[in-house]
Amino acid sequence: MLSASVTVDPAFVVGPVRRRTFGSFVEHLGRSVYTGIHDPEHPTADADGFRGDVVELTRELGVSTVRYPGGNFVSGYRWEDGIGPVEDRPRRLDLAWHSTDPNLVGVDEFMRWAERTGVEPMMAVNLGTRGVQEALDLLEYCNVPGGTAWSDLRRANGAEEPYRVSMWCLGNEMDGPWQIGAKTAAEYGRLAAETARAMRMIDPDLELVVCGSSNSGMPTFGAWEHTVLTEAYEHVDHVSAHAYYYEEDGDLASFLASAVDMDHFVDSVAATADAVRAAGKHTKRIHISFDEWNVWYQKRAESRPPSGDDWPVAPVLLEDRYNVADAVVVGNLLISLLRHTDRVHAASQAQLVNVIAPIMTEPGGRSWKQTIFHPFALTSRHAAGEVLRLAIDAPTTDTARFGEVPVLDAVATHDAGTGEVVVLATNRSVTDEVTLDVDLRGFEGLRVVEALTLSNPDHTWTATADDDSSVAPRPNATAQVADGRLGAVLPPVSWSIVRLGPAA
């Protein structure tokens, strides 16, 4: 058995827990929209065709924001196709995912779904096949109260009040050769700056996200961010980051250490943004919108879109079935995002339903939680107040990809209003238990309120529509507080949350 120690002190604050860290993503991709959030034939469907069971699961998941409508899809999207009478809307080819979009769900439907679900919409504009004017038209439709062509059309379509969307993504992954209308950094940086400048003429208080590199493995990673931000720095607020992880060739140890890569990714983007800030003598600081992240097995057959003459509506795409190890990694990635709350001001797990998602549905039938649902829901529900900077002393384990990494990773939050402290921890060891000792003497008289651990001796177990009990977090009876110290035993390949509150 291995031993690790952690010191938690309320004086060492990273920054506030940001609700936008717990965002999600709905793209017109596969079954994310159609038979995902939208299924008019489902017994729980509302007047707009949205599934009530998915609405309830989204609320339980604790989602704060939802990025829409893409993703790669947005780079070919004509938003005007999705407004007005449904029977008059055109069917369009979606080149990004070789599918047909019937446009049954568009801006107005999504906004009504977001309101009913209690999430903040985060809109993306098409800077692939379109540009400044189309972005302005969409902004006018969404945010201007009335008295103009687009705002009056929104009112005629049933939305008297403006949606007042505050957060907007300026395109998506514009450096990717797979992207419709992909651009060089210089081309995109100029277009993003022009679009942002014009959008602020309508609403100067918008929060705008400029595209960073599609991932940290791109040949231009770092240089892309530097060029784009040099052009657009004063006109935007955030730069995007996207990262996906999966177990490859049976290398579980490296997979469990995926958060090491996320840590490095965030630090690298922040350093690049700060370099542009210094060189340009800017006063404000650019933050990070980590608006695509998850476990995604990109080499599986389900991740390859159709081809040829077949352009189906809502094909089965990217429908990964997640196991216990996947959930442990997702929990660790949430730890990384919280640890960087000083620079990561928003994040979106991709995606919400069916497509690499925590929620799965059957068309017209059942819905259920995947393993990755649980760490997200519990972290969103209980992380509050301020994120604390921890001192961690842990043994290391060897990985093929990242070298020696600590077997234990952790973060803690402190809510001064309730006095509650939440400790989130991951045991990355493939084989060994970890005895955890947490020094809480900086706080007065804490007791364990709840302790849950997600693990299973067979980390390959997955949830099904019939049973998820074998992969849901279970009480950890080893978590006890004595003399200002929390002790707990963490099984190998596990994620844990311990809530501590003032003694009664």
Q: Tokens standing for 343?
A: 């620079």
As a whole number of angstroms, the distance between CA 291 and CA 215 comes to 12
The SS3 of residue 117 is helix
How many helices (H) and strands (E) are present in the chain, helices listed first? Answer: 10, 26
As a whole number of angstroms, the distance between CA 490 and CA 484 comes to 19
DSSP H or E run through 200: helix 185-202
CA–CA distances in Å: residue 307 to residues 142, 302, 310, 318 = 35, 13, 6, 15
Q: Tokens standing for 400?
A: 């093929």
Angle at 162 between CA 157 and CA 167, to 5 degrees: 120
Active site (annotated) includes residue 292: yes
Residue type, 401: R
Catalytic residue among 80, 134, 231, 292: 292
The SS3 of residue 99 is strand
Three-class HEC string of 357-402? CCEEECCCCCEEECCCHHHHHHHHHHCCCEEECCEEECCEEEECCC
DSSP of 130-164:
--HHHHHHHHHHHH--SSSHHHHHHHHTT--S---
| CA dihedral over 161, 162, 163, 165, signed as positive or negative | negative
As a whole number of angstroms, the distance between CA 436 and CA 427 comes to 10
Task: List phi, psi (to 5°) of 375.
Answer: -65, -35
Catalytic residue among 140, 173, 225, 231: 173
With a CB cutoff of 8 Å and minimum separation 6, the contacts of 132 are 191, 194, 195, 198
Q: Tokens standing for 321?
A: 């079935």
Active site (annotated) includes residue 386: no
What pairing do the DSSP bridges indicate for beta strands 446-454 and 474-475?
antiparallel
Q: Are 32 and 359 within 8 A, CB to CB? A: no
Could you give the residue numbers annotated as active site?
173, 292
